[in-house]
Amino acid sequence: MNVDAMNAPQEVVLSVEGLRVYFRNEEEVARAVDGVDFEVRRGETVCLVGESGCGKTVSALALLGLLPRPPGEIAGGRVRFCGDDLLDRDEEALQVVRGRRIGMVFQEPLTSLNPVFTIGEQIAEPLRVHLELPESQIRQRCLQLLHDVGIDSPEQRLAAYPHQLSGGQRQRAMIAMALACGPELIIADEPTTALDVTVQAQILSLMNRLQHAHDMSVLYITHDLGVVSQIADRVYVMYAGVIVETGAAQPVLRNPRHPYTRALLDSLPNRRKRGRRLYSIPGSVPHPAYKPAGCPFHPRCPRAIDACREHFPGMCVFDDGQVARCPVAAGRKLTDWCRS
Amino acid sequence: MSPETTSRAFGLEEPAAPKRTRFEEFWRLFRRNRMALAGLVIFAFFFGSAVVGWVLTSGNRPLFDPALVRLQEKLRPPLATPQATSLKPEERPVGGRYLFGTDDLGRDVFARMLQGAWVSLTVGFVAVGISVAIGIFMGGLAGFYGDRRIRLEQLLVTAVLLAGASLLTAGWRASGAWMLVLGHAWLFWSISPWGIRCRKSLPAGLRFLRKNTLMVDTLIMRFVDIMLCFPSFFLILTVVALLPASIYNIMIVIGLTSWEGTARFVRAEFLSLREQDFVSAAKALGVGNLRVIFRHMVPNAIAPVLVSATLGVASAILTEAGLSFLGFGVPPPHATWGNILSDGKRFIFDAPWLTFIPGAAILIVVLSFNLFGEGLRDILNPRLRERQ
Amino acid sequence: MEPHKAESMDLLRIEKLKKYFPVRRGFFQRTVGWVRAVEDVSLYLARGKTLGLVGESGCGKTTVARMILNLLPADGGRILYKGNDICGLSDKDMKPFRKEIQIVFQDPYGSLNPRMTVGQTLSEGLRITGIRGRTDRREPIERLLGLVGMAPTAIDRYPHEFSGGQRQRIGIARALSVEPALVVCDEPVSALDVSIQAQIINLLKDLQDRLGLSYVFISHDLNVVGYLCHQVAVMYRGQIMEYAPAEKVFENPLHPYTRVLLAALPDLESGKAPPATGLESERPEFALTPPEGCRFRMRCPEKHDRCRLLNPELTPVDDDHWVRCWQAPPHSTRI
């Protein structure tokens, strides 16, 4: 997956336009996702990156129809998966899409696997429900899947219960379940956050290998910019429920245009920064019910000007195809600011 | 950026969450739970009438006299006006009507209900107070010091003391007293500096006394298991039958036989709290064990205890009513809801209000406590809370 | 031979520390085996420096932290603080050292008592130092809050009103309330967002410069350790695998495990490349007794016949570089 391949026109597998997700209670409305657009093309890995509470997980749950409603509600937007609108679908139709065409991998494999069933039974479940394979083939397919995700002695593991596996093996089993029906898209929500670095490295390279082998797209949700640099083709940086910057991963990480992305990168510690003071973003992420007017990042932004306090900034295109929601960085006039 | 400027820039921000005290948060959630709110309202009403009732029915010349017998006015239905012309002015009911009717001796049921409310309230609260105190103590002991093992000598001293006490009560005064004296002497000797010095250089033959036996946790929790094996109502019946009938004995006996649930809750809470970082932090600061327990652990363990105590009040009221109904409860001249019910059952076809009114009162009060308790449990459960 | 020379400089010296946890089964809770959580751990820390303890989850680093604070009794070895062995001291004898050694925890939500205001939490420590009166404490509390960059208005607030980073600051203030010389930081930034992480790391550094604190900094994140620590010890399944000044660990890692860890480290500047670790299999679940021989040999990409039979000792390859591996080059300048 290199930059050239990206420039070629590719089929869009998943597109999200203007997605808004609100959480309501009696007193306040938390705008967790506040107009998010992104797309995933065939065969590419897209990272949705942001700090906790920025709305990245909520976006994924909403587009899969997994949002607990109430208190959550989808207040607007469209989600298209291979041309079909997902938000219009009823629960039954969504279930078919979810199990069969979109695979999901979650953060904590211990809680996303059911402790009372063996790994084999859980991998067989989607095969039985969605593909309606005959029983004779199911076992064969399960063994193949476990082998594909790099679990050794798969015959024994089929009969194992989740607690008998290590964290990394559990996550591999989760990936096997997600792969079971040969999905076109995998949505992975922080799949390696709970794992050790060495295991994380193994899982990441596994996902990379599988993606190429099966020609899948991956939507990868993470807070870790290091992971982004390792796997992403394109990246969307989220802050306070909006996308603030997007582009091909390497240019965004090397030369971030939005002050937030810049600040995030500057605040990462590593040994080369020894002796120098880390940049730290002052303050903390705004509560989704009490977001500041104007640009949501302005109270913490070193480049904020008066206009940032009043106008919500639009997306600005930079020379090399990078897009960031910061007219100040782009050197735009005030008139370009207000979002249509 | 210098440290000073960063400190100033970051620190003076206000907390992200809008300020809401624990109580406000609690009240906000509580208000949403209609059943619990209804429970609370009924409980407040019950509490008020019990207190008012206590004031109005006690003293030399109470406004409502539950013991006043008017034989000519027996079994009058609710809201009836007195008919007998021979009533003295002080015998006439307040407001000129028998609000809840009269019983077979012509006593005012309303006055008796008021008096009974006070009995139910005190029995409920004192019994639960006793059971919660024992439960917290035993549960806390098992949860905090559960790992420690009991030495054989400690078991022996306890055995000697218990044997002495039971001999004393069973009538063998002299031998019982001797055993008690011996036990206490042993106890004080073993905690005296001299005893501690001797303990370290115990002759080989006596070293078995220092042998570790059961864990504190095992001892207490197995004792709880044994206590739970007895059907508690019959245990209470037996004990009450042996003791002189009095309202205080009933409170104490109910309290002594219902602490097991609380002990289990507290133990479970303590076991999880013991591993919490703030408890470790307190220990690392050098805060003493007692302070760790009472400042850091008990306040955080109290929520489930509160729930079980609320439910416990309901069951204590019910137990007391049951005992009074069977005639083992509070002795007769004093009215309780249980014995009003019991007296009334003979006239159930002629005077149904005599059974219906106390029965309904018990039902409503017990129900209100249960609803309130369930509501508390929902609110105090952090997992349910997050969903809100 | 112990990995240190100038003894007088050391604030903390750990020698052959050991902790076995019993595995209990059955109705009578019989001990059926032992988990060797920490075995033969020797470290030293000079005054005013930071010692990083790195390893994956379950490697025993938190157990070491708890033993340094005497929150957990050690089963063997010595912990010398300013030359005094604090292993196995009773609560009473430990008291003077409690003021000297403090801890900051990972989870900002579990580390503060939810029923106590910030002021009450901080006065716990002040009470220990002998500031008794309630009004006497107000001023030092405000000073402590200022030290960690919090506004004095925080005093009457409860922990749930603060964000994770702010709570972590309060946790640090609590540790500082008894004016310690050594602070054990158990993954203090792992649970925080990236932007908050930098704030806390800067704060820890400022405090070290200002108060001359020494840190034992426990982390699984080599980036943070590489940024903050002077000495680094890499732990694997209860044993120190490599121990050296930070530069040497990062520039010249000699143990295969250290190399694996460094290879797995995401590096923003290297471009998209799914990491290849060369690891053979994942860490097996914690067995009761680790196999004979080197503990890392099951996963080691460079294993050797000898590794199966004998567990290597932690040996010096340089004056200040110690490695537990048969493949490590021998000490060049033996003294």
C261: distance to nearest CA of chain A, Å? 6
Give the torsion sign (CA, C259, C262, C267, C272). Answer: positive
C32: distance to nearest CA of chain A, Å? 19
> Is residue B206 scored above 80 in pLDDT?
no
| Cβ-defined contact of B16 to A282 (cutoff 8 Å) | no
- Residue A60, beta-bridge partner list: none
> When comparing pLDDT for A213 and A320, which is higher?
A213
Query: Alpha-carbon distance B135 to B130, whole Å?
Result: 8
Question: What domains does chain B contain, in order, with CATH numbers?
Answer: 21-74+95-148+216-387 (1.10.3720.10)
> Is residue A211 scored above 70 in pLDDT?
yes
Q: What is the 3-state secondary structure (H, E, C) of chain C?
A: CCCCCCHHHEEEEEEEEEEEEEEEECCCCEEEEEEEEEEEEEEEEECCCEEEEECCCCCCHHHHHHHHCCCCCCCEEEEEECCEECCCCCHHHHHHHHCCEEEECCCCCCCCCCCCCHHHHHHHHHHHCCCCCHHHHHHHHHHHHHHCCCCHHHHHCCHHHCCHHHHHHHHHHHHHCCCCCEEEEECCCCCCCHHHHHHHHHHHHHHHHHHCCEEEEEECCHHHHHHHCCEEEEEECCEEEEEEEHHHHHHCCCCHHHHHHHHHCCCCCCCCCCCCCCCCCCCCCCCCCCCCCCCCCCCCCCCCHHHHHCCCCCEEEECCEEECCCCCCCCCCCC
Half-sphere exposure of A117 (CA within 13 A, CB side): 12
When pLDDT is averaged across residues C90-100 and rounded to a whole number, the result is: 87
Q: For B11, which residue in chain C has the nearest alpha carbon?
A: C150
Four-point Cα dihedral B272, B274, B276, B281, nearest 10: 170
> When comparing pLDDT for B131 and A332, which is higher?
B131
Query: Alpha-carbon distance B41 to B293, whole Å?
Result: 34
| Cβ-defined contact of A269 to C227 (cutoff 8 Å) | yes
What six digits make up the tokens of B288?
A: 């003493």
Rounded to the nearest 10 degrees, the angle between the axes of helix A119-126 and helix A167-179 is: 20
Confidence of residue C4 (pLDDT cuts 50, 70, 90): very low
Confidence of residue B6 (pLDDT cuts 50, 70, 90): very low
CB C108 within 8 A of CB B16: no
The model's pTM is: 0.82
What six digits make up the tokens of C122?
A: 């901080």
Query: Alpha-carbon distance C321 to C315, whole Å?
Result: 8
> Each residue of B209-262: pLDDT tens digit?
777 777 888 888 888 988 888 887 888 888 888 888 788 888 888 898 889 988
pLDDT of residue C34: 78
| Cβ-defined contact of B16 to A277 (cutoff 8 Å) | no
Neighbors of chain A with 3 or more C-beta pairs under 8 Å: B, C
CATH code of domain A3-116+183-244: 3.40.50.300
Q: Which residue in A168, A205, A269 is closest to C275 by CB distance? A: A205
DSSP symbol at B108: B
B107 alpha carbon, distance to own chain's centre? 32
In the block, tokens 């002040």 appear at C126
| Cβ-defined contact of B13 to C151 (cutoff 8 Å) | yes
Q: Does A285 touch chain C (CB under 8 A)?
A: yes
Give the torsion sign (CA, C174, C176, C178, C182). Answer: positive
Query: Alpha-carbon distance A220 to A187, whole Å?
Result: 6
| Cβ-defined contact of C113 to B296 (cutoff 8 Å) | yes
> Is residue C5 scored above 70 in pLDDT?
no
Q: For A25, which residue in chain B has the nearest alpha carbon?
A: B388
Q: Does B171 touch chain C (CB under 8 A)?
A: no
Name the 3-class secondary structure at A102: strand
pLDDT of residue B279: 92
Give the torsion sign (CA, B106, B111, B112, B113). Answer: positive
C50: distance to nearest CA of chain B, Å? 19
| Cβ-defined contact of C161 to B17 (cutoff 8 Å) | yes
Where in chain A do CATH 3.40.50.300 domains reside? 3-116+183-244
Q: Does A271 touch chain C (CB under 8 A)?
A: yes
Nearest to C122 by CA among C166, C165, C155, C164: C155
Q: Does C93 touch chain B (CB under 8 A)?
A: no
The average confidence (pLDDT) of chain B is 81
Confidence of residue B22 (pLDDT cuts 50, 70, 90): low
> Each residue of B90-109: pLDDT tens digit?
777 777 778 888 888 888 88
First to last CA, chain B: 41
Kindly state the percentage of chain B with pLDDT values over 90. 7
List CB contacts (< 8 A) between B13 and chain A. Answer: 283-284
| Cβ-defined contact of B16 to A284 (cutoff 8 Å) | yes
A131: distance to nearest CA of chain C, Å? 32
> Is residue B177 scored above 60 in pLDDT?
yes
Query: Alpha-carbon distance C21 to C30, whole Å?
Result: 13
Q: Best residue in A28, A52, A280 to probe B by mutation, most B CBs within 10 Å?
A: A280
Q: For A28, which residue in chain B has the nearest alpha carbon?
A: B18
List CB contacts (< 8 A) between C199 and chain B. Answer: 6, 10
Query: Alpha-carbon distance C20 to C140, whole Å?
Result: 41
| Cβ-defined contact of A280 to B6 (cutoff 8 Å) | yes
Nearest to B176 by CA among B185, B184, B167: B167
Per this entry, what is the length of chain B? Answer: 388
Query: Alpha-carbon distance B46 to B122, whole Å?
Result: 12
> Is residue A307 scored above 60 in pLDDT?
yes
pLDDT of residue A238: 92
Query: Alpha-carbon distance B37 to B129, whole Å?
Result: 23
CB within 8 Å of B173: residues ≥ 6 apart: none
Query: Alpha-carbon distance C286 to C274, whole Å?
Result: 28
pLDDT of residue C286: 46
Query: Alpha-carbon distance B180 to B182, whole Å?
Result: 5
When pLDDT is averaged across residues B355-362 and rounded to a whole number, the result is: 90
| Cβ-defined contact of B15 to C166 (cutoff 8 Å) | yes
Q: Does C275 touch chain A (CB under 8 A)?
A: yes
